[in-house]
Amino acid sequence: MNSVLPPGMPSSLPSLDELEATLWPLDLSISSLNATWADICPENENLLVKFNFLSSFTSVNGFANSFRCGSLFQRQQIASMEGIDWGITPKEASNFFSVSNASGTSMTAIDTESSCNMDNVLQRTWRWDRSSNIGGSELHSGPGISCFHNWAHHPLALKTQEIIDRLKDAVQHKPRNSFITLEWSNLVEQTCLIFFSPPNICKFLRIFWSSWYPNCPIVHRPTFDPLSAPPSLLSSMVIIGACLSPEKNDNQIARAWFNPIEDMVFNDQWLEEDFKTSTWAQNIGGESNRLKSLQAAYFVCLFQNWEGSDISKRRIRRHRYNTLIAIARDLQPASVIHLDTLLLSYDQSFQWELFIETEEKIRTLSFIFLLDGAFMIFNNMPPRMVVAELEMSITCPEESFQALTERDCFAALSTWAEKVPHHHQYSIASVLATMFRRDLHEEKKELYAHFGIINLFILVTEIAQKALHTLVFHLQNAMAPPEAFQRIENALQNWSKVWVHRKTILCQSDDILDADSLPQMWKRAGFMEDSLEFWLLCNVILERIKPSNEHEDWNTMPGRALKRFDETNMKQVNDLMKQFEIFSLSGVCYW
């Protein structure tokens, strides 16, 4: 959301103390909410707010409808642009993407020195069976052959070859009763060649970065190189971009490859459970390759869960996600810690590559946890991760992760480190422990307000997980003591204080860039800017499951906000929000 006041709001806002005094206890009756809002802003007694984001999120399917992915017009403009890397200046692009292949030859060198051999290499991407029912004349006049000659010397042509080979192997060697219904044929290979052709890879990557990336910034975009990216990661990113393509034909063809891509990614050797005992895993870069495979698997879980069939969604929730958790634990989150920026110097001790690798790992682990929270909140599944596992450092600010140069990255980190001293010592688990206390110290409130939107969103998700895990899954058949609710109420109140402080005192905006600036769309804030709605939903659920008043017998089973477990659709949550469809702001600055 833009950092603007709601229509009619007076320019003189209530003080922070006045705002926080109204935050708790929270009475969710409509009459109480209206009265609270009227006290804070008398001129806007009838100004109410709804679950703008979550009501849509829980009632529709698909990335474009569920998340903040830009408008259709914006995606049409993005799709029509050209270039492997889009949105980075030519000077910066030459620094980042004049990358080397295995022998150290730059991209330019590949095009000039290897052009004489390129035709022979690329012809292997098109293995026609002359005994096929398709006649030779039809083959040579088909779109695949024409397109093939157009991009035969494209730097990404060999990457297309890799993806085709991996997919062909997955389809041809699928086990009995496989969820892959596709049968490999010349026609399928032609479709695969066209869909994963270099021009399409470029187009879908542009859409991925500009439309999807703000919602899941776990890959370091400035240094991402499609030439060196493993086929599993690149293809999963391409699929997400195709799902968001403004062309319906792209969307439909992408769905045909959902299951083969899933099988290809999850059968990657880097995702084997006995990874540490494998001799091939001991080579240099093994951990880095495993992280990339984990990111690919995470992207697969995303497109299957939001774009796939109900059967695929259940398979992801019940089976594939367990693999993500196992690999995430193998990465030993407690050991993923940033260095103290204030103790570093740019010229001598700051290592950009180390920072990128560590931050990518922290963000990937964090978003895997967030998916667990989503399954728990919206599908009513028991959690499979616990808060204590999030022992890695908190994520660094977007300014540092989005920086296009090493110097800019270090400058952003240094500025942030002055506001968050000893940032490397804070983990989500340790921060949350302080949030459950009755009163959050003023210095902690100001400190946490500088943590950034991703960390604050993770915190509110953790609070929701703790509430549901403790009060629903553990206490539904036992007594629910007042202390159990009090700790959750403390955390919700403290989180809201941090959020209000961040918005009103620090005046931090999560979307300072012009939304219409297409080259800068990848720097937008994603759905995390709607964290307050998640906080509000947590309050609604808490009110539903707690006794109606303090005099009610605590030795009774707490109620259930959601009745059915492991639900594929999110109708239960949507219905719950509809019961509280109109809310007052209850003292929270909601902008």
Quick: pLDDT tens for 309-326. 999 999 999 999 999 999
Span 20-26, mean pLDDT?
39
Question: Residue 115's domain spans which residues?
Answer: 72-98+108-331
Q: Which residues pair with 106 in a beta bridge?
A: 100
Q: What's residue 152's pLDDT?
A: 76
- Under 8 Å between Cβ of 464 and 541: yes
- Residue 431 counted as domain residue: yes
Three-state SS annotation for 428-460? HHHHHHHHCCCCCCHHHHHHHHCCCHHHHHHHH
- Residue 66 counted as domain residue: no
Residue 5: pLDDT band (50, 70, 90) is very low
DSSP assignment of 44-59, as one string? GTT--B--HHHHHHTT
The last residue of a domain, from among 287, 302, 331: 331
Is pLDDT of 307 > 70? yes
Q: What's residue 273's pLDDT?
A: 72
Is the bond preceding 25 in cis, omega lying within 30 degrees of 0? yes
Q: What's residue 83's pLDDT?
A: 56
Span 410-434, mean pLDDT?
93
Is pLDDT of 30 > 50? no
Lowest model confidence (mean pLDDT) among 27-41, 74-88, 310-324: 27-41
Lowest model confidence (mean pLDDT) among 39-53, 143-157, 223-237, 496-510: 39-53
State how far the Cα of 19 lies from the Cα of 408, in Å rounded to an integer: 37
Looking at the fold, whether 471 and 508 belong to one and the same domain comes out as: yes
- Residue 557 counted as domain residue: yes
Looking at the fold, whether 38 and 116 belong to one and the same domain comes out as: no
Length in residues, the chain: 591
Looking at the fold, whether 118 and 204 belong to one and the same domain comes out as: yes
- Residue 438 counted as domain residue: yes
CB burial readout 34-68, b (16+ within 10 A) else e: bebbeebbeebeebebebebbbebbbeeebbebbb
- Under 8 Å between Cβ of 426 and 420: yes
Among candidate residues 431, 398, 406, the one with its CA nearest the CA of residue 349: 406
DSSP assignment of 266-311, as one string? HT-GGG-TTGGG-GGGGSTTHHHHHHHHHHHHHHHHHHHHHHS-HH
Q: What's residue 192's pLDDT?
A: 96
Instruction: Give me the amino acid identity at 12.
Output: S
Looking at the fold, whether 30 and 76 belong to one and the same domain comes out as: no
- Residue 498 counted as domain residue: yes
- Residue 350 counted as domain residue: no
Residue 510: pLDDT band (50, 70, 90) is low
The CA-atom distances, in angstroms, between 451 and each of 88, 342, 424, 501 are: 27, 16, 12, 12
Looking at the fold, whether 446 and 315 belong to one and the same domain comes out as: no
Residue 136: pLDDT band (50, 70, 90) is very low
Looking at the fold, whether 257 and 120 belong to one and the same domain comes out as: yes
State how far the Cα of 330 lies from the Cα of 327, in Å rounded to an integer: 5
Span 288-305, mean pLDDT?
97
Q: What's residue 353's pLDDT?
A: 94
Looking at the fold, whether 539 and 483 belong to one and the same domain comes out as: yes
Residue 17: pLDDT band (50, 70, 90) is very low
The last residue of a domain, from among 331, 356, 376: 331
Q: What's residue 161's pLDDT?
A: 94
The last residue of a domain, from among 331, 351, 375: 331
Looking at the fold, whether 41 and 170 belong to one and the same domain comes out as: no
Q: What's residue 474's pLDDT?
A: 56
Residue 31's Cβ-side half-sphere holds a number of Cα atoms within 13 Å equal to 0
- Under 8 Å between Cβ of 328 and 294: yes
- CA torsion 38-43-46-48 (nearest 10°) is -80
Task: Using alpha carbons only, give the angle 375, 448, 510 rounded to the nearest 5 degrees.
Answer: 70
Looking at the fold, whether 536 and 578 belong to one and the same domain comes out as: yes
The SS3 of residue 106 is: strand
Give the model confidence (pLDDT) of 164-204 as tens digits: 999 999 999 998 889 999 999 999 999 999 999 999 999 99
Q: What's residue 110's pLDDT?
A: 29
Looking at the fold, whether 191 and 227 belong to one and the same domain comes out as: yes
Number of domains within the chain: 2
Q: What's residue 540's pLDDT?
A: 86
The model's pTM is 0.81
Looking at the fold, whether 115 and 2 belong to one and the same domain comes out as: no
- Residue 60 counted as domain residue: no
Looking at the fold, whether 78 and 177 belong to one and the same domain comes out as: yes
Q: Backbone phi, then psi, for 84, in 5-degree steps?
A: -65, -50
- Under 8 Å between Cβ of 144 and 150: no
Task: Using alpha carbons only, give the angle 197, 198, 202 rounded to the nearest 5 degrees.
Answer: 120
- Residue 379 counted as domain residue: no
Cβ burial, residue 337 (10 Å; 0-12/13-18/19+):
middle
Instruction: Give me the amino acid identity at 393.
Output: S
State the chain's maximal CA–CA distance in angstroms. Answer: 85
